[in-house]
Structure 1
Amino acid sequence: MTDLQQIKTYLDEYLALAEFADDSWNGLQYAGSPQVSKIASAVDASAKSFAAAASHGANFLLVHHGHFWRQANPSLVDWQRDRLSLLSNHNLSLYAAHLPLDQHPVVSNNAQILNLLKAKPTRGFYPHANINIGWIGRIKPTPLSSIADQLSRSLATACRVLPFGKKLVTTIAVCSGGGSYAGFFSALAAGVDLYISGDPVYIDPTAQEAKMNVIFAGHYATETLGVQALAAHLSQQYSLEHIFIDLPPIN
């Protein structure tokens, strides 16, 4: 077992939480058991992820999308009360890392997607409050179709591909989840061969005229790797068992 406050302090520093301006209340959102014996990770804070973590015997849950957000009403009524009662009933701690888990050079969603494609992160792009959230990496010349197939298989997702650029890709910019128009235009300005993000946005005419390849691989799918990588790192750091709770959205 490991002291909860020790894990909190380590994660806060490892992810450099203090450096980020974020809509998410990053960090320990609920303190459960003072001693951590098993870690669970999930993309989202939800009643389902809380119940699943508890059913697997975990007492520390690491998520990308936490429960508390700066612009959301924090009142614990109705569904919020019911959801958080699961944490209390099972003595389950909740730790959230949003933008810090998109940006980290090793365990972030963006770095892990590049790692999946055997590309090493070389520089950042897509500035948010003076911090580049996305990562750019370089790979050996690879067909765009092969990259899309790799993402589809490894992330269990259906990719939307805009094949408007080079047939052989060597530079990739990745901004997981909701990269939005800003992410696309930042990647375009960086001069990469391919932009990968989660949520599709309508940039088809611009991508075509700019001769830019784009792959939209789904919000949830592109944000499954970061929590797993961070939990695995934490598990190794403190010799704790880890389980990933996979709860893809209902289409």
Structure 2
Amino acid sequence: KHDLTSLTTCSSGGAHIPVPLMKQFEKLCGARMYQGYGLTESGPTVAATPVEGDPVYESTGLPYPDTEVKIMDLQLGEIEMKAGEKGEIIVRGPQLMKGYLDDPETTLKVMKEGWLYTGDIGYRDPRGYLYIIGRKNERIVAAGHTVWPTLVEEVLAGHSDVVHAVAFGVPDPLRCNTDIRAIVVPREGVDRASLEKKLLALCRDHLEEYEIPTKIIFRNSLPLTLLGKVDRKKVIEEIDAMIERLIQGEDIPEEYR
């Protein structure tokens, strides 16, 4: 046991923490939890939740002083979106990089008129708070709608019996559509059949119909990065390999069909 009475604030970055976990942490240590957003190219800070005022757990906060943030359309990146509308996050400020070393071509793709095009997708509320929902290259099109796997994962990970969750798309050539699937790592000893029903009910309460996973796959573990986050790249590479085998007519585990 440790005396944490002197602890007043804690900060987190690198990935959004599920709201139930943040509240659980605050209850455990008695300190306020803050989140931030940034990337290597931004030196590495862009926004953070304010120290004062009521907490906005779902948000990564407000831009730092002298830092501008806009949300741009996903097609051309030229139209600024209104509050609540999703788009690509672009940033301008004194902390931005000048460019990638010896790579002017890539620099020109992400730096335009002083603005850094982050590749991150999000939106801002009427008060200016920033919300992150995923990466531009993670977008799934299902039933003609855009699905952001991060939103699905946050709903699943919000259940107290879920340790990790990853959402992904599987093409269904017969219906010319993409099905949403999810891999979930449950807490040890949890009844998986019962948990699946609870998770699907949770999804129905918080997601659109086209965002709800058609199948939940339970695993004992998922590959993690050095920071303890799910290594999404490795998981998706494994899934893509499964899909390729399916297309080639090879046998794959039933849960991936």
TM-score, structure 1 length as denominator?
Answer: 0.31
**Structure showing greater relative contact order (alpha-carbon pairs closer than 8 Å, 6 or more residues apart):** 1
The structure with more radius of gyration: 2
More helix per residue:
1
